[in-house]
């Protein structure tokens, strides 16, 4: 008699053991987003930075919206899913009209090879600046979303507090939209 299996509700995800094995051998594709509020001229007025506990050190750090691209998922779909996961369903992100990122960020497990570091894996992230118009209520593992002016976001204190070197990426984001003070 054949066995009946329940379909996997998330077929794009690897089980934890398989993900660890894959991370040890293959770069993983991510999307990262810098949520912003813009005025009627499209100029950045504030930048959203997440507060969460670091999965590697346990310390509280600042970070950006980030997550893997699942198998069979478009970059646009991954960007929307991760924005909703971290900011909540009423953030109402305005996805860019193109999937060309402002930066391709490469994270290495060995520190010093690039400004970005992830001890778990070699990861490549497509990074976007995404305006949001709704209410943002951090979810998942994010504890808080802080809105900062571009000047505050570019401060050495904030940039230095960003997980995995993401302060470098945040500075690139601000420069890409003409908001770097």
What pTM did the predictor assign? 0.85
**Cβ proximity of 85 and 70 under 8 Å:** no
Of 59, 79, 55, give the one whose Cα is nearest residue 69. Answer: 79
The CATH class that applies to domain 26-176 reads: alpha beta
Tokens of 158: 């904030």
- The C-alpha atoms of residue 114 and residue 11 are separated, in whole angstroms, by 32
More confident residue, 130 or 26: 130
More confident residue, 16 or 101: 101
- Residue 11 pLDDT class (50, 70, 90 cuts): low
Average pLDDT for 32-49 = 97
> 93: Cβ–Cβ under 8 A, 6 or more apart, which residues?
33, 35, 79, 80, 83, 84, 87, 130, 131, 132
Average pLDDT for 58-66 = 90
**Is the pLDDT score of 124 beyond 50?**
yes
* Mean pLDDT across the chain: 89
pLDDT score at 1? 45
Give the DSSP letter of residue 7: P
pLDDT score at 90? 95
**Cβ proximity of 126 and 75 under 8 Å:** yes
Per-domain residue ranges for the chain?
26-176
More confident residue, 4 or 13: 13
**Is the pLDDT score of 78 beyond 70?**
yes
Q: Which residues of 65-79 are buried (b: 16+ CB within 10 A; e: fewer)?
A: bbbbbbeebebeebb
**Is the pLDDT score of 9 beyond 60?**
no
pLDDT score at 40? 95
**Is the pLDDT score of 153 beyond 90?**
yes
Burial of residue 34 (CB within 10 Å: 0-12, 13-18, 19+) is: buried
Give the DSSP letter of residue 162: B
Of 133, 114, 132, give the one whose Cα is nearest residue 124. Answer: 114
- The residue behind tokens 């051998």 is 25
pLDDT score at 12? 59
- The C-alpha atoms of residue 120 and residue 108 are separated, in whole angstroms, by 9
């Amino acid at each position: 008699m054949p066995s009946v299996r329940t379909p996997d509700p998330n077929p794009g995800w690897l089980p934890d053991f398989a993900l660890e094995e894959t991370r040890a051998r293959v770069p993983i594709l991510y999307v990262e987003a810098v949520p912003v509020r813009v005025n009627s001229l499209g100029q950045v007025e504030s930048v959203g930075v997440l507060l969460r506990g670091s999965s590697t050190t346990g310390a509280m750090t600042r970070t950006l919206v980030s997550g893997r691209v699942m198998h069979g998922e478009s970059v646009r779909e991954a960007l929307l899913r991760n924005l909703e996961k971290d900011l909540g369903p009423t953030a109402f992100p305005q996805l860019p009209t193109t999937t060309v990122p402002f930066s391709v960020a490469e994270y290495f497990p060995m520190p010093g090879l690039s400004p970005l570091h992830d001890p778990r894996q070699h990861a490549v992230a497509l990074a976007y600046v995404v305006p949001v118009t709704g209410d943002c209520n951090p979810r998942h593992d994010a504890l808080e979303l802080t809105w900062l002016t571009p000047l505050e976001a570019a401060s050495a204190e904030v940039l230095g507090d960003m997980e995995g070197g993401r302060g470098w990426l945040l500075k690139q984001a601000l420069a890409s939209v003409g908001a770097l003070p």
